Amino acid sequence: MSRAENFLHQEVTIISGDVLNTGDRTIRAAEVTLTFQDDMNQIVLRDARPLFAPQTPPLAPGKSYHFEISFDHIPPSWNVQVPSVRVTGLQLGTSQ
């Protein structure tokens, strides 16, 4: 997780990571849901995002992919901790 300033001088929070395909089928598309909480562990923001850009080639078995997801507005009550990240959608290809 990092923070930066965009061209409009707004603070942007960037969540980055790597996903590894440990299965035997290609991953054609994936969606993750990020959940941000406050100091009392109450949800202040939940947002689903695609993990791959539409033009990204499918992720073959055994391969990894680096992702970055940017947020330009997170409620001020956020506890500034890394949000939970859950895979909430997958589109698989054929078996290898």
The closest of 59, 60, 35 to 49, measured between CA atoms, is 35
pLDDT digits (tens, 9 = 90+) for 7-66: 777 789 999 999 999 999 999 999 999 999 999 999 999 999 999 888 889 999 999 999
Domain ranges of the chain: 2-95
pLDDT at 4 (0 to 100) = 79
Strands (DSSP E) along 21-59, which ranges?
25-37, 43-50
pLDDT digits (tens, 9 = 90+) for 69-94: 999 899 999 999 999 999 999 999 97
Confidence of residue 3 (pLDDT cuts 50, 70, 90): confident
Is residue 96 over pLDDT 80? no
pLDDT at 6 (0 to 100) = 67
CATH top class, domain 2-95:
mainly beta
Q: Does residue 85 sit in helix, strand or coil?
A: strand
- Unique residue bearing structure tokens 């941000």: 36
Residues pairing with 29 in the sheet? 91
